[in-house]
Amino acid sequence: MSNYDQLHRQCRTLENLFDAKLTSYSQLVSNISRPGQDIESSGSGERWRDLELELDDLSSKLEEINDQLSSLASNPELMSASMLRAIQRHRELQQDNMRELKRTKTNVKHALDQANLLSGVRNDIDSYKSSAADSLLAERGRIDSSHQMTDDVLQQAYETRSEFARQRSSLAGINNRMVQVIGTMPGINNLIGMIKSRRRRDSIIMGLVIGVCIIIILSYVWN
């Protein structure tokens, strides 16, 4: 009797604890399945593993105690009808708990698979958005670089045009000063004309001398 009472009390305690743990385990399904729920940051990812281990451990202990109670029930002369019914009730409750635990494990697995799938889709979307943003920024950088290069080329062209304008103005000033100098000294034009005439005369004389020399040389050769 004392052995039965002890096992009976232990079984009731473990059954109540199992029921409370199983309720918490079942609530995780709704938390995990909630849209936008981050399993790891919310702690659900670790919590369901801990609860599952605790429930498996409780199941093993309940199975062991029910086996001991079944051993006592094998001696019906030592058991009353109420004891036998209690032992049978513990066994049936144990079987119901096992079925419920198996069903909840399946639900949790499906919820985790769905949450991981949705998380993967969100990560892909975020990755695509990040990649698209990086591409746009890179394209914008290339456009800005092209604009900067164009501005540099235009600036160089403007500076070259300004330099040409300064040189043209300088040459025009030099030409004007030369004209003015020549205009203020009329004798220079006459001197230049005389030099040119003398050079033409010298060229003619030189040509005649060379022609006479050639004629003399040819006459000497023929004779």
Q: Is the pLDDT of residue 82 over 70?
A: yes
| 32 and 44 Cβ atoms separated by less than 8 Å | yes
Q: Which residues, other chains included, contact 58 with Cβ-Cβ below 8 Å and sequence gap of 6+?
A: 14, 17, 18, 21
- Higher-confidence residue of 128 and 66: namely 66
Q: Is the pLDDT of residue 40 over 80?
A: no
- With bands split at pLDDT 50, 70 and 90, how would you rate the model's confidence at 39? very low
CA distances from 223 to 133, 153, 187, 219 (A): 105, 79, 54, 6
- With bands split at pLDDT 50, 70 and 90, how would you rate the model's confidence at 46? low
What tokens does 199 get?
A: 């050079």
Determine the average pLDDT of the residues in 201-206. Answer: 85
Measured in degrees and rounded to the nearest 5, phi and psi for residue 38 equal -90, 110
The predicted-structure confidence for 92-148, as pLDDT tens digits, reads as follows: 999 999 999 898 888 878 877 876 776 555 555 556 566 666 677 777 777 877 778
DSSP classification of residue 34: S
Per-chain mean pLDDT for the chain: 78
CA distances from 169 to 84, 108, 158, 176 (A): 125, 90, 16, 11
pLDDT score, position 155: 81
- With bands split at pLDDT 50, 70 and 90, how would you rate the model's confidence at 168? confident
Determine the average pLDDT of the residues in 216-221. Answer: 80
Matching residue, tokens 């232990």: 10
Q: Is the pLDDT of residue 43 over 60?
A: no
Task: Tell me how far apart the alpha carbons of residues 59 and 9 are, in angstroms, rounded to a whole number.
Answer: 16
Q: Is the pLDDT of residue 28 over 50?
A: yes
What tokens does 30 get?
A: 């709704």
pTM of the full predicted structure?
Answer: 0.46
DSSP code string of 97-156: HHHHHHHHHHHHHHHHHHHHHHHHHHHHHHHHHHHHHHHHHHHHHHHHHHHHHHHHHHHH
Determine the average pLDDT of the residues in 179-188. Answer: 62
User: Cβ of 113: how many Cβ atoms within 10 Å?
Assistant: 11
Task: Tell me how far apart the alpha carbons of residues 177 and 196 are, in angstroms, rounded to a whole number.
Answer: 23
pLDDT score, position 126: 59
pLDDT score, position 62: 92
Determine the average pLDDT of the residues in 41-57. Answer: 74
Task: Tell me how far apart the alpha carbons of residues 20 and 118 are, in angstroms, rounded to a whole number.
Answer: 30
pLDDT score, position 125: 58
